[in-house]
Amino acid sequence: MNIVYVLGSTRSGTSAVRNALAETKYKGYGEGHLVKILVDLIASVRTERSMGQGALVLGNGLNALRERVLIRHFFHGYERYLTEILGSTFIMDKTPNIIPIQNAPDLASFHQNAKFLHCARRHVDNIQSKLKKFPGQSFISQCREWAECNLAWERVKPDLGDKCVDFDFMDMVVKRQETCLRIGDLLGLNDAEVAAVVTYLENERPQSADPTRDLNRFLKFSDMTWTDEEKDIFLRICGPVGDKMGYGLETYYA
């Protein structure tokens, strides 16, 4: 069984990548939201093994518990469940929150064969897109979500080694063929599948309902109609992370 997790902050192109992969042998829900079950199982086993009643008593089953073995069996059961329900041994999961990003090292460790795709997007464009898509959420929460997701990815990426590929939203526009080839190499897609991913991204275009929109265009911080308070929040929360990622305020990259 093979599983790929499509990771990233909301409005970073994760839906486009997920939908493009649906043109290949990979199957999955529009959004998963099942990862927390795995995370809770891992936490429960580890907590009980170290702190549960009888954990320190020799001869007790909890004392003798081989936590990694038990967790791996849980994961195998989960994989069999998805294979049966989705009718494929090639599974994809797009859960648009920080949980799968934070827990990617455990997912990589306990799945039989897990791979990870991470989509990043420049802070100014991402926050403005969030505000349009989710108008009921506060400005500060949108900034925090973007910053925390990208910081979490930087923390876990070294632990994933060759099990991951990361790219930027702009790569799907100006380096589409190259980016799709990188994804294809990671996931073992054949030439026809890579071509299908490229075609999907060309025709559907990430985060663009308007087929005439120039995706090479980006927003300038100085042109944003945010309030002074919102601009201060943005610079305080997103600014340092954006600097670290090489983004500019008036240009896409610094």
State the CATH number of the domain containing residue 116: 3.40.50.300
> Can you say whether residue 54 is alpha, beta or left, with left for phi > 0 and alpha for psi between -120 and 50 degrees?
left
Number of structural domains (the chain) is 1
Please state, for a pLDDT cut of 90, what percent of the chain lies above it. Answer: 85
CA distance 153 to 167: 12
CA distance 134 to 238: 18
Q: Is residue 56 part of a domain?
A: yes
Question: Which residues span the domain enclosing 38?
Answer: 2-121+160-214
| Strands (DSSP E) found in the chain | 2-7, 90-93, 114-120, 164-168
Q: Is residue 138 part of a domain?
A: no
Would you say the pTM of this structure is higher than 0.95?
A: no
Q: Is residue 150 part of a domain?
A: no
| Strands (DSSP E) found in 68-194 | 90-93, 114-120, 164-168
Q: Is residue 203 part of a domain?
A: yes
Q: pLDDT at position 31, please?
A: 96
Are residues 155 and 14 in contact, defined by beta-carbon separation less than 8 angstroms?
A: no
Burial class (CB in 10 A: 0-12, 13-18, 19+), 182: middle
Q: Is residue 197 part of a domain?
A: yes
Q: What is the pLDDT of residues 62-120, one digit of tens each?
A: 787 889 999 999 999 999 999 999 999 999 999 999 999 999 999 999 999 999 999 99
Q: pLDDT at position 106, please?
A: 98
The token duo for 236 is 């305080």
Q: What is the pLDDT of residues 165-214, one digit of tens each?
A: 999 999 999 999 999 999 999 999 999 999 999 999 998 865 444 555 55
Q: Which of 104-113, 212-221, 223-232 is the least confident region?
A: 212-221
Q: Is residue 66 part of a domain?
A: yes
CA distance 6 to 232: 31
Cβ contacts of 210 within 8 Å, gap of 6 or more: none
Q: What is the mean pLDDT of the chain?
A: 93
Q: Is residue 126 part of a domain?
A: no
Tokens 């493009």 belong to 20
Q: Is residue 220 part of a domain?
A: no
